[in-house]
Structure 1
């Protein structure tokens, strides 16, 4: 019920409400626009009165089939709105006056046949004039024609060789000429039916109709192509990018840079819509997915020779001489070195002598698992079982190809008797030890050459990983054997034997010597200026007792 005077006064005093009300309603015309006042707001409809027609009562739905995905309008009691007459009641007493809000009426099927014809005139390849109504990070929303909407993908604005941001010169309200390139799928997120995919690429706007319609995306990308893509999403270890409307790409964290500081801030370096230039290192044609490596000077094709191409395809396009980013996955015990992750499923090894530039007692100091590092690929090879071995170096001077870094003898031919060398103890046994001069060369030190002094327990005095310095006694390239002495006395063993040899000694000679070892049964004495050791029983050396 209503007690509003204007509504009560619209009814005749003789009680002929139906007749008076029906006469006012019949004066309305179908699709006529009138002003109405909101009287009651219900869940799915509103009750309206039309002052111009004796406050005739009508009903307007809050939602219909054509506008169900649009934001629902909210009305208040007493609000004045413009409505369109949707249906006039017949003589049946149960008939009602149906009114449609003006915006909803434009979207409904009461459009004229002329309007429907305009909608059907557009097709793939047509040129349209559209107005920009929204700019998002990866697309521009436009309207054109009669209540038609479309979008321009971020890759459909500029040609591939342009460096500026595609949306930098676009603004809301701007009119543009675009070509329809495809029908878009319905977008439930925006609430609009984005019927058309548009493009404003200069090359497409100038192309003939047949050429533009025949250019539907084929995955024609190949390994080592340089492309530009735009960030869609960033997660912990991958950046997902769009290359075109139907082709995606992804960039692994370790392929994004070689600098540890940049790898540490991986997620902060990328934002949605950002342009990324990269080299294709993988193509999945079934999923229409590319894998990229961030573009740098190493991506130039002339830096990849035929020999390296074969091996790099095994090792995910990693080749000898590359400077790449890595992450320490494991620190091996003893002098095992490091295991470095350099790809989603690829790891390399860093030899114990390739961790730091200088010969230091603790090369693993400051190294921890999960740390990002900059490495240089020393070698890529296939193992007998089919796996790939990648040898890496973390030595910063080697990364810069510096000639001033501490030398590492990687060939036995580079060694000659008397050469001063340094190395780390690899293993120790009662007869001596082995040391690592580099990742390629190891040397043996026999017990008598471990020190000028007597060494009673080599395992105690020479621990694994200990840094030692000595000189080369012999190097045999054919057998691969290298002998080193840690004794500080000058000259090689052969030179000392030349001073006093066994043939120089005669019965009755008096010689000087140094006690080497004392046993319960006598002494062992090293004769001065020689490597000769003599035995003196206590019965003939009672003076020493």
Structure 2
């Protein structure tokens, strides 16, 4: 072989940092592979340059005789050459180089990434061996205070910026979620109508109501629409994750809003009131409010009836406060029921024995109490007296 040809051959077989070579495994050591190179020299592939996995056994990744395409990452110099190899080679860096090359011109595309670490300002993610970054503002389409739950998760994100030279890869998950949400909203609104009874899950609770997830749209149940009885705080009667039924009260597709009512799907306190409180029935109740013209007595939860001042006592009283106080337990008789108007007329004195009439009253059939002393109209007085006489 001529000297010129041998020199040319050696020049072709010269290996330098940055080259991609095919190498064959000749030995498996504790933390590295020893490989033979095309020029007859040997190189080493440390476990960290073979895989990103931790605590992995090398013999599960390679066997003697296996061939790998590797990147020449570093030339071994000085005393390190005593180990018997001339280069450090890498499979992971080669994969990263190819991944960067594949990203050229792909801004705007959607790729799948895995969260490797929660860092200041966002999430560090892995894409085909590359380190990417999702800023906190681009992780969700809503505010998030704690990002720790994302560690280890895989999800789709859109490529926002690629700079191979500086190793910069910025991704966006927020816009994907917003697009998916808009698509689901459109699907839900297409099938949703006012008056529908729908099933949903309590997504979150606030002081003013509960947000119900309808599978793409969150509907609001105002606190006044949770129950027929008074609710001070939604959390007193509902909990996150609870399945509920609700009636659609209003749809505002333009702003993505749905108003719901839970109580509209439940029997109200006035349902079957004529059966629960028939005329003539005797009921136990609690005085809830006192007015100048009578007392409102709760006979069932959410059902209050009026005891007109003329029906409180057989004796003349100027105000209900003379004989009643809020919170008093009383027994009442049902005089009249109007389910449509949600009104019940009650009487306390109808269940009490009337006192013996004095001779003076019996002789004077035209006895009248001046209007100024009663606190209610003459018409109410006449109605009360007629009821009294009817008994």
Q: TM-score range by the shorter chain?
A: 0.3 to 0.5
TM-score using structure 2 length: 0.40
Pair member with larger Rg = 1
TM-score using structure 1 length: 0.31
